[in-house]
Structure 1
Amino acid sequence: MYFLRIVGRHPYLTHIQPWYEQSFPMEERRSFDQLLHILHYPDMHFVALVDDEQPVGFIVFWQWENLIYVEHFAIDPDKRGQQIGQKALQLLLKLNASYVALEVELPTDDLSRRRIHFYERQGFSMNAFDYRQPPYRLGGTEIPMKLMSQPAIPDQETFSHLSQQLREKVYERFYYAL
């Protein structure tokens, strides 16, 4: 398996768009057109997960010197249970950053708990600090979530700094650009 960075219109997008839209509620994502609109930002990476020259999933992540933030990650529903997600995270963790972080829903149901356990098996830690996903749209509502990372974020000061970085670079800077 390998990552194929998507930088514009690509045939794999016909597979990826329904996975994106079905895997994430509208309040937890951009519209697909908005996602395509920001592909040119150098810190934003939209990668197809390719196995046997077929798309099997995707990751949207942001990469800075101190942090890789996984914004969205989904596997083709027909390919789940084949360790594709585990292999994809192993590839991602080889990239250079002080922290790799991702948001997860609060563990309120079986699906969210299974997702959290999956990330824990991949070496991610649940950070104990309060976190709210900023809204994707100006005037939207923040969503209570948890931030998992590898390694664990050691203190509130570092956590606050990284959370503010996400707020500014992933969410707020696009309120008017889209």
Structure 2
Amino acid sequence: MFLKNPQSRFEEIYKIYKESFPDIERRTREGQKKVFYNPDYRIRIIEEQGEILAFLGYWDLPGCVFLEHLATLESCRGKGYGKLLVEEVLKETEKPVFLEIEPVTEANPVTGRRAEFYKRLGFHLNSFDYLQMPLKPEDEPIKLMIMSYGSPVTEKEFDIYKKEIYRMVYGVN
């Protein structure tokens, strides 16, 4: 379900967000609240009996869609909620769709499972390096990987989208 007024459910969503992502991969409460008021930011949720079980926070930018945060309550993982949320967005856009993931390593098997999850949905892990810009002033950029929906892209092809993501999501020119 697309949440037309995400501000009204901010605390509930922020709780899941905070539990699901390490500090380096999330904004401060105030920073995330500001994002909720951005006209390009969207939230989709799955709820049951008035409780949010999963959410997808993403950006519907002029040139692309950027999936930023997908999270499910720990007790609800493995039930297909994340898949449903991503598929809803994919069905509703004609734009290129991108997301960031941690580099896949043997030392952290979750990274491989996460990449496989998105591959099953039609995303491709691209081979070029990418830096996620800091979400808080005190943070440093993080080395991540870009996944693209439908087909792989080259670094040169992604560059125009990267500039848009950097500018509109991270506030960096």
Is 2:88 the counterpart of 1:86? no
Look up the match of 1:176.
none
Q: Which runs of 5+ in 2 are unaligned?
A: none
Among candidates 43, 57, 63, match of residue 66 of structure 1? 63
CA distance in 2 between counterparts of 1:65 and 1:170 reads 12
Aligned in 2, Cα 1:78/1:15: closer, same or farther, shift over 3 Å? farther
Look up the match of 1:104.
101
Q: Give the residue type in structure 2 aligned to 1:66.
A: G
CA displacement at 1:16 relative to structure 2? 2.3
Q: Which runs of 5+ in 1 are unaligned?
A: 174-178
CA distance in 2 between counterparts of 1:52 and 1:88 reads 18
CA distance in 2 between counterparts of 1:63 and 1:124 reads 18
Deviates more, 1:25-34 or 1:103-112: 25-34
CA distance in 2 between counterparts of 1:17 and 1:154 reads 32
Q: Give the residue type in structure 2 aligned to 1:41.
A: N
Contact residue 65 and residue 97 of structure 1 kept, 8 A: no
Contact residue 59 and residue 68 of structure 2 kept, 8 A: yes
- What does residue range 134-149 of structure 1 map to in structure 2 within 5 Å? 134-138=133-137, 140-149=139-148
CA distance in 2 between counterparts of 1:167 and 1:19 reads 25
CA displacement at 1:93 relative to structure 2? 0.6
The two structures have a TM-score, normalised by structure 2, of 0.88
Percent identity, please: 27
Give structure 1 regions of 4+ aligned residues with deviation exceeding 6 angstroms: none
Aligned in 2, Cα 1:9/1:98: closer, same or farther, shift over 3 Å? closer
The two structures have a TM-score, normalised by structure 1, of 0.86
CA distance in 1 between counterparts of 2:2 and 2:48 reads 9
Among candidates 42, 47, 53, match of residue 44 of structure 2? 47
Give SS of 1:128's match.
coil
Deviates more, 1:114-123 or 1:50-59: 50-59
Aligned in 2, Cα 1:110/1:122: closer, same or farther, shift over 3 Å? same
CA distance in 1 between counterparts of 2:144 and 2:152 reads 16
Aligned in 2, Cα 1:154/1:107: closer, same or farther, shift over 3 Å? closer
Deviates more, 1:27-36 or 1:98-107: 27-36
Contact residue 8 and residue 36 of structure 1 kept, 8 A: yes
Give SS of 1:38's match.
helix
Aligned residues: 170
